[in-house]
């Protein structure tokens, strides 16, 4: 194999400049691996994560727009509607902010779909498929980078919450545990949106496909109001769906009260969603 790379006699008849060091093309083929080894899977996933995080750094608008929407919701519900909303057992701002965190993670996950659809649209996925890299790293790197982004945004929203009067009633460990529950929820949603991103042709289509899925989950939930005020059929939905479960768990973690069962329900939702959708998304990636 290497012998076919012996090009030391290459004549350079074109205008190309060739540094002396590369005239003799050195064999530099990638090491022989089967591409599925754990070590390469991790390294490739980290490479793709680096690439995705660099994109976020290079185009900070993505992050800014991701924060603007929840901030508007905070201001609107805290100061416009908040006075008219009563919730059992807590001040409204304390009830609201955990819901806002869940909303931020939920809508933020749409980025996973948009990013993948754009990579597909730009032809980048074609190139990546032709490389001897791990088959799971493209999706893994996307999901991982979006998780890092989620942590950053949740912390930012936490600070904004403090600024508008939100206070935690537990301890730091519980708050971190709550963030962990949300990050896990975001991770589960990322697989849903990876699947959507691979199924559409570009970023706008991904956005258009993702919003109708998330809107009923986020708005018909207990994120902003107590479902008791909703009609019966809607209550049933609002009390038993993953966004409400995540909001319940986060509220318990920052406000106190019985916590373990709520955290377990949300974690179960997240693991269930990921267990079903991650394999489907990976299969879809290999197939398309």
Partner 1 sequence: MTLTATSPGPAIVADGLVKSFGDVHALQGVSFEVPTGTVLGLLGPNGAGKTTAVRILTTILRPDAGRASVAGYDVAAAPHMVRRSIGLAGQYAAVDENLTGHENLFLVGRLNHLSKANATQRAGELLDQFHLTDAANRPARTYSGGMRRRLDLAAALITHPPVLLLDEPTTGLDPASRQDLWGVIASLVSDGTTVLLTTQYLEEADRLADRIIVIDHGKIAAEGTAAELKATLGATMVALQFDDTAAAQSAVELLADLQATHPPADPFTVTLPLFGGAGTVRDVLNRLHDRGLTVGRFDLHEPTLDDVFLSLTGTLGSSLTAGSNASQKEQVSA
Contacts of 158 (CB under 8 A, 6+ apart): 97, 101, 175
22 binds partner 1 (CB under 8 A): yes
- Closest CB to partner 1 among residues 8, 84: 8
The size of the interface with partner 1 (CB under 8 A), counted in residues, is 53
- Closest CB to partner 1 among residues 31, 232: 31
Shortest distance (Å) from residue 186 CB to partner 1: 22
- Closest CB to partner 1 among residues 60, 231: 60
- Closest CB to partner 1 among residues 54, 171: 54
Stretch in the footprint of partner 1 (CB under 8 A) among 13-21, 194-202, 219-227, 276-284: 13-21
- Closest CB to partner 1 among residues 10, 68: 10
21 binds partner 1 (CB under 8 A): yes
Task: Give CA–CA dist 286/288, Å, rounded.
Answer: 6
Report in angstroms the alpha-carbon separations of 65 from 54, 69, 130: 17, 7, 34
Stretch in the footprint of partner 1 (CB under 8 A) among 73-81, 91-99, 121-129, 262-270: 121-129
Stretch in the footprint of partner 1 (CB under 8 A) among 23-31, 179-187, 220-228, 240-248: 23-31
**Burial (0-12, 13-18, 19+ Cβ within 10 Å), 106:** buried
The answer to whether 119 and 206 are in contact (CB under 8 A) is: no
Local structure of residue 262 (DSSP, 8 states) = H
44 binds partner 1 (CB under 8 A): yes
Stretch in the footprint of partner 1 (CB under 8 A) among 20-28, 76-84, 148-156, 167-175: 20-28
Q: Give the chain's largest Cα–Cα span.
A: 83
- Closest CB to partner 1 among residues 129, 240: 129
Task: Give CA–CA dist 72/33, Å, rounded.
Answer: 50
The answer to whether 204 and 65 are in contact (CB under 8 A) is: no
53 binds partner 1 (CB under 8 A): no
Among 67, 128, 151, 280, binds partner 1 (CB under 8 A): 128
Give me the numbers of helices (H) and strands (E) for the chain, helices first please. Answer: 11, 0
Least Cα distance to 151 among 123, 129, 184 occurs for 184
Task: Give CA–CA dist 118/196, Å, rounded.
Answer: 12
Q: Which of residues 58-117 bind partner 1 (CB under 8 A)?
A: 58-59
Local structure of residue 30 (DSSP, 8 states) = P
- Closest CB to partner 1 among residues 33, 171: 33
Local structure of residue 7 (DSSP, 8 states) = -
260 binds partner 1 (CB under 8 A): no
Task: Give CA–CA dist 4/29, Å, rounded.
Answer: 11
Q: In the complex, which residues of this chain contact partner 1 (CB under 8 A)? A: 1, 3-7, 9-19, 21-22, 25-35, 40, 43-44, 47-48, 50-51, 54-55, 58-59, 122-124, 126-133, 137
């Amino acid at each position: 194999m290497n012998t076919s790379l012996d090009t030391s006699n290459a004549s350079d008849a074109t205008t190309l400049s060739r540094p002396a060091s590369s005239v003799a093309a050195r064999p530099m083929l990638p090491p022989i691996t089967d591409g599925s080894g754990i070590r390469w899977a991790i390294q490739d996933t980290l490479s793709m994560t680096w690439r995705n995080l660099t994109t976020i750094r290079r185009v900070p608008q993505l992050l800014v727009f991701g924060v603007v929407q929840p901030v508007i919701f905070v201001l609107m519900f805290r100061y416009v509607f908040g006075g008219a909303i009563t919730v059992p057992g807590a001040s409204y701002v304390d009830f609201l902010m955990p819901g806002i965190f869940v909303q931020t993670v939920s809508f933020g996950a749409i980025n996973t779909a948009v990013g993948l659809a754009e990579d597909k649209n730009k032809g980048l996925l074609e190139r990546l498929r032709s490389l001897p890299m791990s088959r799971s790293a493209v999706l893994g790197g996307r999901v991982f980078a979006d998780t890092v982004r989620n942590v950053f945004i949740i912390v930012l929203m936490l600070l904004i919450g403090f600024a508008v009067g939100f206070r935690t009633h537990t301890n730091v460990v519980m708050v971190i545990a709550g963030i962990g529950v949300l990050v896990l929820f975001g991770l589960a949603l990322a697989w849903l949106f990876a699947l959507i991103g691979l199924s559409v042709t570009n970023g706008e289509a991904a956005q258009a496909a993702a919003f109708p899925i998330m809107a009923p989950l986020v708005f018909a939930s207990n994120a902003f109001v107590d479902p008791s005020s909703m009609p019966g059929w809607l209550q049933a939905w609002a009390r038993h769906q993953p966004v409400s479960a995540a909001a319940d768990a986060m509220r318990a973690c920052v406000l106190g009260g019985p916590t373990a069962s709520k955290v377990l329900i949300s974690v179960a939702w997240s693991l269930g969603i990921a267990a079903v959708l991650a394999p489907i998304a990976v299969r879809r990636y290999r197939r398309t």
